[in-house]
């Protein structure tokens, strides 16, 4: 059964709350993908070095020219600032 056939479905549940984000922290692989797709909208990039003892290569802090909209569900799994 699809969700729109469900009698308990409420119209308010279809709303997605979005918030404009000016900064985003990503991994190196994610940055390469973002740069290839949307390099025009990147204002600046800073490298966040890895912590001693960690097994990653650090993170990348992207500052966007125009804010990127992200849903509140995306905040839990990634690092928007």
Report pLDDT digits (tens) over 10-55.
555 666 677 788 898 999 899 999 999 988 999 999 999 988 888 8
Q: 3-state class of 18 per DSSP? A: strand
* pTM strictly above 0.85: no
Exposed/middle/buried for 79, CB within 10 Å: 0-12, 13-18, 19+? middle
User: Higher confidence at residue 2 or residue 55?
Assistant: 55
Sketch the domain layout of the chain as residue ranges: 17-80
Instruction: Give the C-alpha separation, 39 to 25, whole Å.
Output: 15
Kindly report the backbone phi and psi dihedral angles of residue 59, in degrees, each rounded to the nearest multiple of 5, phi listed first. -130, 170
């Amino acid at each position: 059964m699809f969700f729109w056939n469900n009698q308990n479905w409420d119209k308010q549940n279809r709303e997605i709350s979005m918030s404009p984000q000016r900064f985003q922290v990503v991994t190196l692989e994610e940055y390469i993908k973002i740069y290839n797709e949307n390099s025009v909208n990147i204002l600046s990039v800073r490298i966040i070095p890895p912590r001693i003892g960690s097994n990653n290569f650090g993170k990348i802090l992207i500052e966007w020219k125009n804010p990127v909209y992200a849903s509140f569900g995306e905040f839990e799994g990634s690092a928007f600032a």
